[in-house]
A and B are shown apart, each in its own frame.
Chain A
Amino acid sequence: MITVAGYDVDEGLEYDPDYNLWVERRGLGVVRVGYDPLGAETVGDIVAVALAAPGRALVRGSALATIEAAKFVGPLPAPVAGDVRAVNESLARNPGAINSDPFGSWIAEIDGVTDDAFSHLIAGAEAIRSWFSATAERFRLQGVIAE
């Protein structure tokens, strides 16, 4: 882990800068995804998660899940194209785990991911540090992070 803007960030993962999701490569064409700490924090206290059915085909940006927080509801977009391989059913019982432990709360696994699907992701400690720091500042200016 590296500490950036007060957050612990796993430098071994890749990140979707548009959706604030982490992506973990887990073998040939298979990834596991979840919210990064900023993504989890800025939706607010998550109270429900409706997950896509395994087998569903996704393009990047299509809904992998629907997230309901205290004052927010919206889709969780897929960071890469592929097929839903598995979903974390425990989140239905404990959706708040995403807020309290975003790296420990994987949301879905996607398979059939092609190599070119990773090109937009941010990887490597320095790139992650730079991007995450700027994003935290942007969220602070937007007023969606507690003071």
Chain B
Amino acid sequence: MSASTVELPQTTQTEHQSPEWVRISYASALALRFRSGRFTQPFDFGGINLLLSYDRGCLSDCGYCGLARNRPGDYEEKSFIRVDWPLVETDELVRRLVRHEDKLTRLCISMVTHGRAYPDTLDIAGRITRSVATPLSLLVAPPTLNEARLQAFRDAGADMIGIGLDAVTEDLFRSLRSDVPKGGLKWSQYWRIVDAARLIFGAWKVNCHTLVGLGESDADLMGIFTRLLEGQIFSYLFCFNPEPDSRMGALPKTPLQRWRRVQLAKFLLEERGIAPEQFRYDDAGTLVRIHAPRGLVEAVVADGHAFMTNGCPSSGGEPGCTRPMGSWRPTEPPRDFPWRPRGVELDGIRAALDLDSLVSPGPGPSRPPELCAPPAAGRVTE
């Protein structure tokens, strides 16, 4: 297998660009005390997300993304996942990671499509892994990579690789990420990097981001979940959350019932061994029936883990990257819970699922436990 890189223009290094500067998620800024503030519901949070930062920004132009090059506004002022990502000095960030290491659970560097993204990611990864033992993931930009570069990431200490497929069919990927004004990303190239990462990093050390609400059907989603499960690659689920001023900014957010049903179906497929043919769809590909033992489904709902954030684990196998409010506003019910939902939260989940109209009797697990996905968000110690 060979994975070629796309030659991207280099830019002149200026004061506030990576690798000397990075952006961090707002939640990370709170956790590391770069910003004042708090969460509505206090909980332990230690999943720190970094984002490379360049004056010219990301050279991709994905229709749903806040960082798209054709989205109006200066890159400095662009939100990502709807909120501000504070710009911080990398060495100060590392000092704070050291200071707060006892509460950190998972670190992640997100690349952007840019000519300096590979060497800068390698540089920053090295600064981090030389300073703290917290596990490090990389959310990579496939156009900038090949096998040798992935191997270099592993040698630098990263233990997991994420690939942001986002769109789960080739047609959708093309319409949102390839055939767009400044697009050009290639579905085949993304999959070459998925396969290369799987070989280099190993089973259950690679994940693909899949976004619900870009125009795909439920059947499309379950198809990609199955493909990735067979390859021992995690699917991480994200809910489309329209980014203001992006080309898809006026589209509606994924309805809650659809989102909950996809969460449930994904969990039953991946972690409870329910066979793909037990999920039934209408002509539009909408999930209309799950044939499975009702008791098993009820137990999954009551357990709550199916509705937690899909993210890379901590070194102890517990939830590491939980992205609080990454796909929901504080005024909305959580889409993916950074904590285990209980009580009224489970009541809301049950109401949205409407299991009576979704579940019919059917056979139990057919996939052997050893071929199911391991817990993606830390159910090891339960």
Listed in ascending order, the chain A residues whose CB lies under 8 Å from chain B are 41-45, 48, 68-74, 142-147
Across-interface contacts of A74 in B (CB, < 8 A):
40
Which of B26-34, B269-277, B294-302, B374-382 lines the interface with chain A?
B26-34
With a cutoff of 8 Å between Cβ atoms, the chain B residues found around residue A147 in the complex are: 33-34, 96
Q: Is the CB of B37 within 8 A of A73?
A: no
Report the Cα distance A45→B26, complex, angstroms.
10
Q: Can you spell out 28 A-B residue pairs with CB atoms less than 8 angstroms apart? A: A41-B36, A42-B36, A43-B37, A44-B26, A44-B35, A45-B26, A68-B330, A68-B331, A70-B26, A70-B37, A70-B83, A70-B330, A71-B30, A71-B37, A71-B38, A71-B40, A71-B324, A71-B330, A72-B37, A72-B38, A72-B40, A72-B330, A73-B40, A74-B40, A142-B38, A144-B30, A146-B35, A146-B36
Q: Are B330 and A146 in contact (CB under 8 A)?
A: no
> Counting CB contacts under 8 A, is B84 at the interface?
yes
Nearest-neighbour CB distance to chain B for A118, whole angstroms, equals 28
Least Cβ distance of B87 to chain A in Å? Answer: 14
> Quick one: given A45-B84, A73-B331, are A144 and B36 in contact (CB under 8 Å)?
yes
Interface residues of B in 323-361 (CB under 8 A from A): 324-325, 329-331
User: In the bound complex, do residue A146 and residue B40 qualify as a contact, i.e. CB atoms below 8 Å apart?
Assistant: no
The 3 closest A-B pairs by CB, nearest first: A44-B37, A73-B330, A147-B33
Minimum CB–CB distance for A24 against chain B, Å = 24
A145 touching B83 in the complex, CB below 8 Å, given contacts A69-B330, A71-B330: no
Min CB distance A64 to B, Å, is: 17
Q: Which of A69, A71, A142, A144 has the most CB of B within 10 A?
A: A71
Question: In the complex the two chains form, what is the Cα distance from A36 to B106 in whole Å?
Answer: 35
Q: Interface code B43-75, partner A: CB below 8 Å = 1, 0 otherwise?
A: 000000000000000000000000000000000
B39 neighbours in A (Cβ, 8 Å): 71-72
User: Contact at A45–B37, with CB atoms within 8 Å?
Assistant: yes
Q: Within the complex, what minimum Cβ distance (angstroms) separates A31 from chain B?
A: 27
> When the two chains form the complex, which single residue of B34, B83, B84 contacts A146, counting CB atoms closer than 8 Å?
B34
Assembly CA distance A124 to B35 (angstroms): 30
Alpha-carbon distance between A68 and B40 when the two chains are bound, in angstroms: 9
CA distance A74 to B83 in the complex (A): 18
Count B-side interface residues using an 8 Å CB cutoff: 19
CB distance from A21 to the nearest CB of B (A): 17
Besides A42-B37, A69-B330, A73-B40, 9 other CB < 8 A contacts?
A45-B35, A68-B331, A71-B27, A71-B325, A71-B330, A72-B38, A72-B40, A144-B36, A144-B38
Give Cα A107 to B35, complex, Å: 23
A145–B35 Cα gap in the complex (Å)?
Answer: 7
CB contacts (< 8 Å) of B34 on chain A: these are 146-147
Interface positions of B from 1 to 49, Cβ below 8 Å from A: 26-27, 30, 33-40
CA distance A69 to B37 in the complex (A): 8
**Which B170-193 residues have a C-beta within 8 angstroms of A?**
none
Taking CB as reference atom, which chain A residue is nearest B83?
A: A70
In contact, B36 and A71 (Cβ under 8 angstroms): no
Provide the residues of chain B in CB contact with A45, threshold 8 Å. Answer: 26, 35, 37, 84
List of A residues within 8 angstroms of B330 by Cβ: 68-73
Which residues in A have their C-beta under 8 angstroms from that of B33?
Answer: 143, 145-147
**Residues A43 and B38 in contact, CB atoms below 8 Å apart:** yes
| Assembled-state Cα–Cα distance A71/B45 (Å) | 12
Closest to A46 in B: B37
Closest to B26 in A: A70
Q: How far apart sit A144 and B29, CA to CA, in the bound complex (Å)?
A: 11
Taking a contact as CB atoms under 8 Å apart, the answer to whether B36 and A70 are in contact is: no
Bound form: Cα–Cα A146–B325 in Å: 20
Give the distance in Å from the alpha carbon of A23 to the alpha carbon of B39 in the complex: 26
Q: Note all chain A residues with C-beta closer than 8 A to B40.
A: 71-74
User: Chain A nearest CB: distance from B188 CB in Å?
Assistant: 38
In the assembly, what is the distance between CA of A45 and CA of B324, in Å?
16
**How far does the alpha carbon of A43 sit from the alpha carbon of B325 in the complex, in Å?**
15
Looking across the interface, which residue of chain A has its beta carbon closest to that of B99? A147
Report the minimal beta-carbon distance from B135 to chain A, rounded to whole angstroms: 23
CA distance A70 to B26 in the complex (A): 8
Assuming the contacts A71-B325, A143-B33, asked whether A42 and B38 have C-beta atoms less than 8 A apart, the reply is: yes
